[in-house]
Amino acid sequence: MSVRVRYAPSPTGSPHVGNIRTALFNHLFSRHHGGVNIVRIEDTDRSRYVEGCEEEIIESLQYVGVEWQEGPDVGGPSAPYRQSERKGTGLYQPIIDRLLSSGAAYWAFDTTEELSEMRDYQQINKQPIGYYGGVWRDAPSSKVEEARAAGLPGVIRLKIPRDETIVVDDAIRGRVEIASNGVDDPVLIKADGMPTYHFAAMVDDQLMGITHVFRGEEWISSAPKHVVLIKALGWEPPVFVHVPVIKGKDGSKLSKRHGDTACLDFRRAGFLTEALANFIALIGWSPGGDRELMTMDEMAGAFDIKGIQPSPGIFDIEKLSWMNGNYIRQKPIDELAPMVRDYSFCSENQAYWETKNPAVASAMRLLVGTWQKDPDLVKSAIGLEQERVTSLAEFGTACEFFFVDEVTFDPKAVEKWKGQEHVPKMLDAFLEFFSGKSSVSTSECESLLRQFQEANGFDKLGPIVHPVRVALSGKTVGPGLFEMMSVLGPERIVRRLERAKEVLA
């Protein structure tokens, strides 16, 4: 069987983690089997349509590295790939006519008030909520024609059989049996003539030759309706793969406080494509063994539906940051430095951080300004901080002390080293050493500090290294001190040591 899968989002809002995971699973599954991945825009709900959302969906897929062979932007043999356009071609009409003529579907002309009264009655009597026929399910054709002739607004509903067991075969959970009496008659065609998801998605899947349908487990309750519809048309159902829900680390429904934001917000926050794809793919899917850091090729090679777990997947933003840090550390500096530059220069990213954390946005702008004047300094600083950051955004704040005229001193660090007897003497000695020099090597810096240690009888280098770090960066932690000193250079070191004498001596 040639695998054909589809990612079919609705342009009603920004794609989030759950949507993108489904798209990733489609991508990995189709690549694993050498099949075809399709993007289809399901835009029949015009009341919820959001302008620009389709473009954001495509951009999000591209950011995460999802590829597709057919879609609204690339075309294909099953075009068009927007359901509103497909409806315009008239391809749905013969199929709905088949359902009506066979008795598998029917017209219903209930008013809004009548539907509301029906729901109220069901709630009061503790009955299942839904449309189970009313007066129209078995209405004589004459009554239906009379209503249509009168121009009454009506919908077309699927007639769910009663007193039967509907079987849904799910690739993750196996055989699922549902009593048909608990399944209401869904609307297939709305009063405005637009098809609903229940109808258009299933029809399009058949017409496009979709073999496997990956979607969230929230659609399991609707699957019986889809099975009935497909069988009423004499078709074979695709393989349904209902992927597990995603929850926060605390076990509650995923929300913004867990980090569930629009997909493109992860790009604005400084997460790399490969890290985000790797992280999202592993939410609810296991490749087997202890593998975690995997390229897209490796994930595609290992992807198997059997690895998808029925239990909820967990969204852990700390794990994403850990992964992102690993991918950053793997980058050659000649590739990483331009990435940090482009990220920091992007006004969209700066605006994002201006809202989230203005200090980060300010540090990014400082990096941009310094790059324009001294790109070599910025590249060297990025190289030193590469081992410590977990996002592209962190380079701004991590490297900030390299670029400022005066560092901000950590009060606790000042308190610890201020008044120490050897500190003023040490600062004077180092000032004398660096004054007049144009450059200094890492080995020279190390030799200088070790000579002072030995000359002044210190058993360890710590009492020398720590106050010097504070004097030069204002911080107690950072990259290797000797490398940091070499990057700062004698001129900056002298200015900072002179100021440190006022603060620490």
479 within 8 A of 402, measured Cβ to Cβ = no
The DSSP letter of residue 261 is -
Contacts 24+ apart (CB under 8 A), 301-306: 301/32, 302/32, 303/25, 303/28, 303/29, 303/31, 303/32, 304/32, 305/29, 305/171, 305/172, 305/241
What are the helix (H) ranges across 33-111? 53-64, 83-88, 93-102
Q: By the 8 A CB rule, do 5 and 37 touch?
A: yes
CB 190 within 8 Å of CB 112: no
- Return left, alpha or beta for 284; rule: phi > 0 is left, psi -120 to 50 is alpha, else beta: left
Catalytic residue, from 143, 249, 253, 256: name it.
Answer: 256
The answer to whether the CB of 92 falls within 8 A of the CB of 86 is yes
Residues 6+ apart with CB under 8 A from 305: 29, 171, 172, 241
Strands (DSSP E) contained in 142-211 are 155-158, 165-170, 174-179, 187-189
Q: Is 126 a catalytic residue?
A: no
**Residues 364, 349: contact at Cβ < 8 Å?**
yes
List the strands of the sheet with 36-39, edge to edge: 36-39, 4-7, 212-216, 239-243, 165-170, 174-179
CB 187 within 8 A of CB 157: yes
Rounded CA-CA distance 237/157 in Å is 20
Distances from the Cα of 467 to the Cα of 422, 436, 446, 453, 488, angstroms = 10, 23, 15, 13, 16
Specify the residue for token string 């129209």. 136
Q: Residues with catalytic annotation? A: 256
